[in-house]
Amino acid sequence: MIPKRDQIYRLPHDRVGDFTFDEAVVDVFPDMIARSVPGYASILSMIEQLSYRFVRPATNVYDLGCSLGAATLLMRRQSPTDCVIHGVDNAEAMVQRLKIELANSPRSDDVCDVIVHHADICGFPMTNASFVVLNLTLQFIDIEKRGELINSIYQALLPGGALLLSEKIGFDDPARQSLLNDLHHDFKRANGYSDLEISQKRTALENRLRPETMETHHERLREAGFGCVAPWFQCFNFASILAVKDVESR
């Protein structure tokens, strides 16, 4: 099915409120994220590939901030049938739409179970995990809660398990920050967004999405205990990191 075109900010708003993952966003989300996040398709492709490498039989997989389940459904194709994938999101509209899609999918014994949870990922119980995905999710979590969340993921992962963390990132150097912001806006224009749409969405997100530097993410992951922290992707001001728990860890 062809996704609906994102036109949420096409017309001038008298007041641009904070961005929310409501029904209006759910209706256009696949188009919105594809036209707004450079390299999004590549990140999804690698999530599928990495799940084949890291997901182990009889373990749990967590897609934290699963939205409409793009990563969840790709991981399901590569995971052993005795795994359970947990999609977790605090946006009820996203969760309900994903549940409908799963209910309408043909039942098969060749794929693992998927359980969708309407819940806050901060404090969500996790255990026996071989692979965890935070794909463009941590950036919406209060900064003071991010360290605790990463620590809980580390504790839930089995030795040799991995976390895939993708984020919009910031830069300490003002010139670099300005250049990559401009390049990101050029990317949006090339995908059909007007200057008005770009400006209004930026206003809507400024109190919700708080980017951090790659150095901050790297330090937090190291502090949690991850032995291998490998930035593997960057396109303008979006990046992805693979963090692996040491095999001898407890």
Contact 3, 68 (CB under 8 A): no
The neighbouring-strand residues paired with 231 are 241
Element (H, E) at 149: helix 143-156
Q: Report the amino acid identity of residue 107.
A: R
Please state the residue numbers annotated as binding site for S-adenosyl-L-methionine.
40, 65-67, 89-90, 120-121, 135, 202
Closest-CA residue to 82 (of 105, 64, 100, 109): 109
State how far the alpha carbon of 215 is from the alpha carbons of 44, 59, 170, 172, 193, in Å: 23, 31, 10, 10, 31
Write the CA distances from 249 to 154, 172, 195, 223, integer angstroms: 10, 33, 49, 14
Query: How many residues in total does the chain contain?
Result: 250
Given a contact cutoff of 8 angstroms between Cβ atoms, the answer to whether 236 and 187 are in contact is yes
Of 138, 122, 154, 156, residue with least CA distance to 224: 154
d(CA 124, CA 152): 9
Binding site residue list: 40, 65-67, 89-90, 120-121, 135, 202
Coil, helix or strand for 23?
helix
